[in-house]
Amino acid sequence: MGLLTGKRVFSIMALCMMVGLLLLPIVVALPSPAIGEEAPAVGDEAKKDGEKVEKGRDVYYKTEGIVVGAPAPKTTDGPKDYPRYNFESRVLIWFANQQHLYYGSFVLAVPIFCMIIEFMGVVTKDKALAKRYDQLAYDFIKISLTAYSLTAILGGILIFTFLTLYPAFFSYLSGIFRPVMHIYALMFVAESGTLYIYYYGWDKMKEGFLKWIHLSMSVVLNVIGTLLMFLANSWIGFMMSPAGVDEQGRFLGNIWHVIHTALWNPLNLHRILGNMAFGGGVVAAYAAYKFLASKTDEDRAHYDWMGYIAMALGVAFLIPLPFAGYWLMREVYAYRQQMGITLMGGLLAWLFIIQATMIGILFLSTNYYLWQAMGRMRGAEKYQRYIKYLVFLLAAGYIVFITPHTMVMSPAELKAMGGQQHPVLGNYGVMSAKNGGINVIITTTVLSFVWYMRGNKVSTVSWAKFGNIFMGVFFVCAYINIIWLAVYGYYIPANVRVGLSVPQVATTLSCLFFMFALNSVMMRGAKQMGPIEWGKISARSQYALIMLATAFTWMMGLMGYIRSSVRLFWHVNEIMRDNSPWAYTHTVGFAANMISANVLFFWISILFVFWLGSLTAKKVPVESKAGIPGSVPQPAASH
Amino acid sequence: MSALNNPVIAVIVSLIIAVGYFTLVDHYLMDMQGLDYCTCSVSNHQVM
């Protein structure tokens, strides 16, 4: 009893310490508004000394402030500002940045999964199932822990690469962000401390009140991780849409203006969702690999289940991702219309066609996996004959979604076609059609999920027949509404047409929320046609998971490149010019090769991380397996 | 509830709810953006 009380006290102290670590940077930061408050002080002193106080106007907020920073350096191409090896410096910084970002995204996303799964384990009443959830969460964090060290190493490499190859730029950026640089470092310390206590305290805090404390630690861990990411996002936000400085790039004393730029919040949302989808994809690929390498039915069942959970979590964040992307683009256009045009209709537009292709592949892979997964439940055969219609909808939406507006052609081809725009296909290369295409794809994915969730069940509620008919009619009307809005867009002025994307998105989200909710109500107490036979799934489905993860990785690399390239020849947009010999936009082919090389390196290195993790594999407790009836465990009878 | 389980009635009721809902969504969300849903101009043919 005394030992238990001691553990409780110790765990509460540990939790308090973590919260303290979380708050520490804020406490330390209190003097940092000091930078903001220093300004008047500097002004007062200057007045006393009879010196002239120089004021500047914020380039974004348009407020006046006293200049407290140095102007952005005007660099020249030479060893002073751009020291180099006999290699393109931009490629080196690109590689270092991308690898750090991949690992950073992974280690920020996985603890969030862990928190969700651990919570599911705590609240579930089935003890065997709770243990399996707990084991799964532990498996997740174990993978993340090894990757965490690599993230820190890559972060170090990135800083040294900046210092070595872009000293003038890095010096300016770190000067602007000086008040929050140490906060970032302290947050990193807090993250590491919390992660290690969380991981190593797993077995000590596995039951009762202590488990809740442990779960609370995961919340603190994720809050720290998210804040870390927000801070890092403020740097790229500043580079794209600077604020808090005057037109010469001089800091005006308000660090919040520097952080809270026009694109900061859209970037934050987009990155959280992107990281989660990416993390889900990587864990699903890990599970798929383990599934394919499994020798026993039991292992296959475990990794099949793990892959499904990771995929479901990843896709849950993938579905709203395009909408977050729309918001980001909308803010880009609002900030600088020219920047938006460069992205969507100019220099970088072809990269968006590739992006559309990748998004389509993600959704096609997800749907394919779900259809394959229906094979492991008895009763789901009733949906098999309808899958061909879903394939048609997906293929039609996909083809429209990837159709380019104009083609790159030779003069002879141009003459033969009668212009840059194809007389028929060119009509599908516009936003009206593309919005329709992607919304059809997402709605179809929602429908596949609904079918999967009710695959082996028959509703027993008295209004089941009406419920089924209502769901069918609602989906049909949703498709009609999406396609109708896409067609209607061709006949109205451009400014009104842009607004049609909002009801289109609302239609898709209505299907997602209402149909999932209705399905859950209908399936409460439903009759089961048979258990979900985990592990009894085709190998093809596992390759779909690997495809999903690779497509995520490739798309992240692509989008990072697009976002960064839109600054063109600026280090900091319209403030600090890039005068290095590499201040030009690469060809699409070179960029694609570079992205592929980054993806390849990431996957080779993460396989190494997985291998390291397997060396210390913690076996599932025997009792948790033995307690489950059937030839293979059935960990998630309900979804 | 038994009347609702009649397929014909169920389809009609579902259609009324779904069509009404999506019409409302289309008009309300366009109005919310300060845009007129019923602006129709064939001369402004798709250029975006």
The span from the first CA to the last CA of chain A, in angstroms, equals 38
CA separation for the pair A553, A277 (Å, rounded): 10
Domain-located, residue A382: yes
- Nearest CB among A427, A498, A502 relative to B29 is that of A502
Alpha-carbon distance values, A305 to A139, A436, A634 (Å): 13, 34, 9
For the residues A548-571, what does the mean pLDDT come to?
93
Chain A residue numbers with beta carbons less than 8 Å from the beta carbon of B45 are: 490-491
Query: Which residues are A608's β-sheet partners?
Result: none
Q: Judging by beta carbons within 10 Å of its beta carbon (0-12, 13-18, 19+), is residue B45 exposed, middle or buried? A: exposed
Residue A349 pLDDT more than 90?
no
Secondary structure element (H or E) that encloses residue A572, with its range? strand A570-572
- Say which residue, A481 or A53, is predicted with more confidence: A481
For the residues A3-31, what does the mean pLDDT come to?
67
Residue A485 pLDDT more than 70?
yes
- Say which residue, A28 or A572, is predicted with more confidence: A572
Q: How many residues does chain A have?
A: 639
Q: Judging by beta carbons within 10 Å of its beta carbon (0-12, 13-18, 19+), is residue A225 exposed, middle or buried? A: buried
Quick one: pLDDT at residue A406?
78
Domain-located, residue A498: yes
Given a cut of 50, the residues of chain B with pLDDT beneath it are 42-48
Whether residue A470 contacts residue A518, with contact meaning beta carbons closer than 8 Å, is answered with yes
For the residues A126-136, what does the mean pLDDT come to?
89
Residue A107 pLDDT more than 60?
yes
CA separation for the pair A503, B33 (Å, rounded): 11
Chain A residue numbers with beta carbons less than 8 Å from the beta carbon of B8 are: none
Say if the Cβ atoms of A432 and B48 lie within 8 Å: yes
Among all residues of chain B, which has the CA nearest to that of A465?
A: B5
Domains contained in chain A, number: 1
Quick one: pLDDT at residue A2?
55
Quick one: pLDDT at residue A623?
39
Using the structure block, give the residue that is written with the tokens 């890095």.
A170
Residue A609 pLDDT more than 50?
yes
For a pLDDT cut of 70, what percent of chain A falls above it?
90
Chain B residue numbers with beta carbons less than 8 Å from the beta carbon of A425 are: none
Residue A7 pLDDT more than 70?
no
Most confident of A31-35, A366-370, A427-431: A366-370
Residue A363 pLDDT more than 70?
yes
Say if the Cβ atoms of B22 and A477 lie within 8 Å: yes
Among all residues of chain A, which has the CA nearest to that of B11?
A: A469
Domain-located, residue A239: no
Quick one: pLDDT at residue A635?
43
Say if the Cβ atoms of B25 and A506 lie within 8 Å: yes
> What is the helix, strand, coil percentage profile of chain B, to 5?
55, 0, 45
Query: Lowest-pLDDT range, A251-255, A395-399, A623-627?
Result: A623-627
Question: Looking at the complex, does the CB of residue B44 fall below 8 Å from at least one CB of chain A?
Answer: yes
Quick one: pLDDT at residue A419?
80
Is this structure's pTM higher than 0.90?
A: no
Say if the Cβ atoms of B29 and A491 lie within 8 Å: no
Domain-located, residue A59: no
- Nearest CB among A432, A491, A503 relative to B29 is that of A503
Whether residue A285 contacts residue A95, with contact meaning beta carbons closer than 8 Å, is answered with no
Name the nearest CA neighbour of B3 among A462, A399, A369, A630.
A462
- Say which residue, A308 or A421, is predicted with more confidence: A308
Residue A16 pLDDT more than 60?
yes
Query: Complex ipTM, two decimals?
Result: 0.86
Chain B residue numbers with beta carbons less than 8 Å from the beta carbon of A428 are: none
Residue A631 pLDDT more than 80?
no
pLDDT in tens, A27-54: 665 555 444 444 444 445 555 555 678 8
Query: Which residues are A65's β-sheet partners?
Result: A56
- The half-sphere exposure of A613 on its side-chain side, counting CA atoms within 13 A, is 23
Q: Which domain holds residue A441?
A: 378-530
Say if the Cβ atoms of B46 and A490 lie within 8 Å: yes
Chain B residue numbers with beta carbons less than 8 Å from the beta carbon of A485 are: 26
Domain-located, residue A410: yes
Say if the Cβ atoms of B48 and A502 lie within 8 Å: no
pLDDT in tens, A512-547: 999 999 999 999 989 988 888 999 999 999 999 999
Chain B residue numbers with beta carbons less than 8 Å from the beta carbon of A495 are: 35
Residue A361 pLDDT more than 70?
yes
Question: Looking at the complex, does the CB of residue B17 fall below 8 Å from at least one CB of chain A?
Answer: yes
For the residues A617-628, what does the mean pLDDT come to?
43
Say if the Cβ atoms of A489 and B26 lie within 8 Å: no
Say if the Cβ atoms of B44 and A492 lie within 8 Å: yes
Domain-located, residue A557: no
Residue A73 pLDDT more than 90?
yes
Quick one: pLDDT at residue A639?
38
* A480–chain B nearest CA distance, Å: 10
Question: Looking at the complex, does the CB of residue B38 fall below 8 Å from at least one CB of chain A?
Answer: no
- Nearest CB among B10, B35, B44 relative to A466 is that of B10
Average pLDDT across chain A, whole number: 87
Question: Looking at the complex, does the CB of residue B5 fall below 8 Å from at least one CB of chain A?
Answer: yes
Domain-located, residue A626: no
Among all residues of chain A, which has the CA nearest to that of B39?
A: A492
Is residue A149 very low, low, confident or very high in pLDDT (cuts 50, 70, 90)? confident
- Nearest CB among A478, A497, A506 relative to B29 is that of A506
Chain B residue numbers with beta carbons less than 8 Å from the beta carbon of A478 are: 18, 22
Say if the Cβ atoms of B47 and A494 lie within 8 Å: yes
Say if the Cβ atoms of A494 and B33 lie within 8 Å: no
For the residues A71-98, what does the mean pLDDT come to?
92
Chain A residue numbers with beta carbons less than 8 Å from the beta carbon of B22 are: 477-478, 481, 507, 510
Say if the Cβ atoms of A477 and B15 lie within 8 Å: yes
Top residue of B15, B23, B35, B42 to mutate, by most chain A CBs within 10 Å, is: B35
pLDDT in tens, A182-227: 888 888 888 888 998 899 999 888 888 888 999 999 999 999 999 9
Taking residue A489's Cβ as centre, other Cβ atoms within 10 Å add up to 24
Quick one: pLDDT at residue A232?
93
CA separation for the pair A598, A604 (Å, rounded): 10
Could you tell me which residues come within 8 angstroms of residue A28 by beta carbon, excluding any fewer than 6 positions away?
A182, A183, A186
Pairs across A and B, CB distance < 8 A: 96
Domain-located, residue A595: no
